[in-house]
Chain A
Amino acid sequence: MARIIVVTSGKGGVGKTTTSAAIAMGLAKRGHKTAVIDFDVGLRNLDLIMGCERRVVYDLVNVINNEATLNQALIRDKRCDQLYILPASQTRDKDALTTEGVGKILEELAKEFKYIVCDSPAGIERGATLAMYFADDAFVVTNPEVSSVRDSDRMLGILSSKSRRAERGEDPIKEYLLLSRYSPDRVKLGEMLSVDDVQEILSLHLLGVIPESKSVLNASNSGTPVILDEQSDAGQAYQDIVARYLGEDKPHRFIEEEKKGLFSKLLGRK
């Protein structure tokens, strides 16, 4: 049985696409056949983060409109043969996405893939609601910042009332918290909400904390999912997240300030 994961947040710029690219690559690297779909119709971006922007021929809307087959539109990742990308269309037609169309695509993908990652656009319009409608699991990406936390709570409300699982009276979507752009040193200074604060407000199961990291911009500059940067803190955080999602018991990291060595302390290095 395929699992459909939606990566959502409500607010823009918190790291949904970075997260979608990273976890899709992480799952595929572990041998699970994975598809990642960009639902941001009009503002396609996942292809850039994945580094396959020049290989896009057909997109999600082409498949919905029967202008291309699913196999024609899926782009196989060059780094991992278990990973496929379905790019978003750049059409400005807001009605291009339909529930039936998306449902059909997901049903077809589910026959072949183990995991289907849906990269939701920001906001609560059609792309966002359709990305979550068919989901089994929701990764709620949140920054430790007031507007992001509030929007995440709003999305939780929509997840629990407007999904297919809710409409059919099935088990609810499993919701997980991914706290991104976290700075333990600022938390210590009382300048940033802590993991515990955010968890207390949202009462969500924490899947992982992704530290604020230079490696994320470096990764997107080169079109490489940050999880492939195994030396980086953010890359390791995403590897932990994939492991925990798959049921492995990994203690949380990146919550505490990194201990500085005496040498860097003396030099006042950061």
Chain B
Amino acid sequence: MSLLDYFRSSKPSSASLAKERLQILVAHERSSRNQPSYLPQLQQELLAVIRKYVNVGQDAITVNFEQDGNQETLELNIVLPDDR
């Protein structure tokens, strides 16, 4: 290895940056790709039902779909307001 190569290796190469960014992005996009298409509508309708009883904001609900092997999990998270 020449002296030049020694200085080059001091900071990460642009290729390894590209790889890292792509791995994160592709993993994220794949997980949302596998979500059932009814998810956004389900979220809207659930929100409408809950709002009949409790006054919550638009973003009070998060619906999470996860796939782990054969097991599919639908996680529903509702944040209720503090004041009663």
List the interface of chain A (C-beta within 8 A of B).
145-146, 149-150, 153-154, 157, 187, 189-194, 197, 200-202
Residues of A close to B33: CB separation below 8 A: 157
Q: Scan residues 23-58 of chain B and give those whose CB is less than 8 A from a CB of chain A.
A: 23, 25-26, 29-30, 33
Query: Complex: how many Å from CA A40 to CA B81?
Result: 54
Q: Interface range on chain B: under 10, 10 to 19, 20 to 34, or 35 or more?
A: 10 to 19
Are the C-beta atoms of A153 and B30 separated by less than 8 Å? yes
Q: How long is the Cα–Cα vector from A77 to B13 in the complex, in angstroms?
A: 46
**B15 and A190 contacting across the interface, CB-CB below 8 Å:** yes
A157-B30, A157-B33 are contacts. A149–B22 as well, Cβ < 8 Å? yes
Contact surface of B with A, Cβ cutoff 8 Å: 8, 13-16, 18-19, 21-23, 25-26, 29-30, 33
Nearest-CB residue, chain B, relative to A194: B15
Residues of A within 8 Å of B23, CB to CB, are 200-201
Contact B26 A153 (CB under 8 A): yes
Give A149 to B22 CA distance when docked, in angstroms: 8
Chain A residue at minimum C-beta to C-beta distance from B21:
A146
Q: Which 7 A-B pairs have the closest CB atoms?
A: A190-B13, A197-B19, A157-B33, A190-B15, A153-B26, A146-B18, A201-B22
User: Which residues of chain A come closer than 8 Å to B16, judged between CB atoms?
Assistant: 190
Smallest CB separation, A236 vs chain B (Å):
25
Docked pose: A201 CA to B13 CA in angstroms: 17
* Measured CA separation A149–B18 after assembly (Å): 10
CB distance from A156 to the nearest CB of B (A): 9
Chain A residues positioned under 8 Å from B15 (CB to CB): 187, 190-194, 197
